[in-house]
Amino acid sequence: MKKYLVVVLICLAFSCNAQQANEETSLVKWMKLEDALKAYDKQAKPIIIDFYTDWCGWCKRMMATTYSNPGLASYINQNFYPVKFDAEGKDTVEFLGKKYTPLGVGQRTTHALAAKLLQNKMMYPTTLFLNNLDKTKNEFALSMLAAGYLDDKKIEPMLVFSLENAFRNSNFDDFNAAFQKAFYDSTTDNKINKLKWQTPKEYFSRTEKHSKKALVYIGTEWCNSCKVMKRSAFIDDSSAAFIKEKFDLVDFSPENSDTLFYKGLRYYNAHQPQFPFHQLAFELTRKNFVLPSLVILDEDMTIADAIPFYISPVFMKDISRFYGNDVYKKKSWKDFQESIHPLRN
């Protein structure tokens, strides 16, 4: 995601009343919830629901600042279904097959759907991020609430976390900590520069047996969770020294154009419109190509595992021990996790 420079003109240094900030200044193209759900059925995208009330000054301020940032609004409009939901609205609203109405009568009556989705914590504004609808369970795998006013810096990692499926392998707190380290920690570049990354051509051109296993990172510069993973998981103090000792590191951009040889076969990038990525990236991920991915190769360059989606520093530490110490040859991942994290089970 581009680093957005938000220029917010607040009259007389916040002396203006927040009520004066008109939600019409928002550049986000808001939808009704029913329309967002219909659109999701046709093409799955994450849904953002902004819960507001007519009397909420901070709700209006968020419309006039965060959602008026041109770059941020464009990113949301392109990649999400954004919904404004009046938490004291009077309409009957259907959500996942069930209809909801206001809980009572009167001017300031909470809507039943707002109470349900906000888990009866009626704070405004509150933003709900939804993604990955499981139709068998009739629920979203990601349902993340963020209470209170969100500026662009706060909402940015939430958008990436929701859009790029980082929630599959990480909780948001861990992802946010890695996000801040990746983009705002002044020591990160120095640590990154100390890593000895090999190119795919350097690594795969060797015919002799490798002395170490390899961690093959597959990611691109335009994939935000890829950058967070590359700039945090491999340099974390809890595992960086161990990774350096046990593994070769291979930085594999799937947009690579080199002809590569693996297991006696030739792979290349045909740059086809429907799949503009390297054939070997597809092969190494066991034909489950996802950005980012981590592929673990043994000393013979045989695939030990291919793990899709963002990997946090915490998860990387466990992965590196599991494969670096050859535990995978003796135990299942589940048994390994139970042995090192007994309180999680």
Over residues 324-343, the pLDDT tens digits come to 999 999 999 999 999 998 86
Whether residue 180 lies inside any domain: the answer is: no
Residue where a domain terminates, one of 146, 163, 180: 163
Residue 179 lies in a domain: no
Residue 252 lies in a domain: yes
pLDDT at 108: 87
Residues 156 and 247 in one domain: no
Tell me which of 16-30, 208-222, 308-322 is least confident. Answer: 16-30
Q: Number of folded domains in the chain? A: 2
- Out of 75-79, 161-165, 204-208, pick the least confident: 204-208
User: Does residue 3 belong to any structural domain of this protein?
Assistant: no
pLDDT value for 344: 64
Q: Are residues 193 and 337 in the same domain?
A: yes
Identify whether 313 is part of a domain.
yes
- Residue 238 sits in a domain of what CATH number? 3.40.30.10
pLDDT value of position 18: 38
In a domain, 285, yes or no: yes
| Band (24; pLDDT cuts 50, 70, 90) | low
- Taking 90 as the threshold, does the pLDDT of residue 7 lie above it? no
Residue 9 clears pLDDT 50, i.e. is over it: no
Residue 1 has pLDDT above 50, yes or no: no
Question: Is residue 208 domain-shared with residue 120, that is, in the same domain?
Answer: no
Token pair, residue 185, equals 């920690």
Q: Contact at 8 Å (CB) between 137 and 125?
A: no
- Same domain, yes or no: 249 and 131: no
- Is there a single domain that holds both residue 107 and residue 238? no
Give the side-chain half-sphere CA count within 13 A for 191. Answer: 19
336 and 205, same structural domain? Answer: yes
Residues 6+ apart with CB under 8 A from 216: 203, 250, 252, 284, 294, 295, 296, 297
63 has pLDDT over 80: yes
Domain containing 90 equals 18-163
